[in-house]
Amino acid sequence: MILPVVKYGHPVLRQRGKRIEAVTPEIRELAANMLETMRASAGVGLAAQQVGQPLLLMVLDTRESERPSTMQVNGAEADIAAHMPMVLLNPLLTEPAGKEVGFEGCLSFPGISADICRAESVTVSAVNIEGEPLKFRCGGLLARVIQHENDHLHGVLFIDRMDSATKVSLGGALKRLQKETQADLPPVRKRGARGLVASRQA
């Protein structure tokens, strides 16, 4: 099932994800729906926050991109395609090395993109959708996508990593998107006022 993608301005994008203790049928279904949603949006990655679930869960698939990736498992070059699509639960990123500026977009920021500086390579420890531990080192696009999605899992957005000049130049578009998103959110219930209205109507 394709899920609605939460846009900038929705408070769930700022929530830290909860650790997933067990791969339940609900988690499997959520991961499958996230993969379907990511593909339908032609994305390379999606975090649970982006479908309204503050959980430590991301999905990704870099196969459609021409941008190069590297992956090593136990020190040996791995066949990246064999590991795609990838579902990562409770990921932990360590040993960041190098710096690289690269172009990024985000499904929660339609029409907005920028150059973002990230580590060139990182080590990833996580659990896969079978509940098995997974550890690998990655570089290039794969490392960039995982760092972008891992930020989402901790309530961090790519605008937080833009240089100030870029953020200023995108200021108007960001404000408009935030306003549009917030206009669609359900109104905060004001118990006193509602109660009063209800009793008057009764």
User: Is residue 106 part of the contact set for Zn ion (CB under 5 A)?
Assistant: yes
- Rounded to a whole number of angstroms, the minimum distance from the CB of residue 172 to Zn ion is 20
User: Is residue 145 part of the contact set for Zn ion (CB under 5 A)?
Assistant: no
Q: Select the span of 14-22, 25-33, 82-90, 105-113 touching Zn ion (CB under 5 A).
A: 105-113
- Rounded to a whole number of angstroms, the minimum distance from the CB of residue 168 to Zn ion is 21
**Residue nearest to Zn ion according to CB distances in the complex:** 106
Q: Which is nearer to Zn ion, 95 or 160 (CB)?
A: 160
Q: What is the 3-state secondary structure (H, E, C) of the chain?
A: CCCCCCCCCCHHHHCCCECCCCCCHHHHHHHHHHHHHHHHCCCCEEEHHHHCCCECEEEECCCCCCCCEEEEECCEECCHHHHCCEEEEEEEEEEEECCEEEEEECCCCCCCEEEEEECCEEEEEEECCCCCEEEEEEEHHHHHHHHHHHHHHCCCCHHHHCCHHHHHHCHHHHHHHHHHHHHHCCCCCCHHHHHHHHHHHC
Q: Which is nearer to Zn ion, 83 or 152 (CB)?
A: 152
Q: Is the distance from CB of 100 to CB of 69 less than 8 angstroms?
A: no
Peptide bond into 85 cis (omega under 30): yes
Question: Residues 29, 64, 100, 149: which is the catalytic one?
Answer: 149
User: Is residue 51 part of the contact set for Zn ion (CB under 5 A)?
Assistant: no
- Rounded to a whole number of angstroms, the minimum distance from the CB of residue 13 to Zn ion is 9
Active site residue 149: yes
Q: Which is nearer to Zn ion, 43 or 140 (CB)?
A: 43
Q: Select the span of 12-20, 23-31, 70-78, 106-114 touching Zn ion (CB under 5 A).
A: 106-114
Tokens 């206009």 correspond to 183
- Rounded to a whole number of angstroms, the minimum distance from the CB of residue 52 to Zn ion is 14
Q: Select the span of 24-32, 67-75, 98-106, 187-195 touching Zn ion (CB under 5 A).
A: 98-106
What are the residues binding Zn ion (CB under 5 A)? 106
Catalytic residue numbers read 149
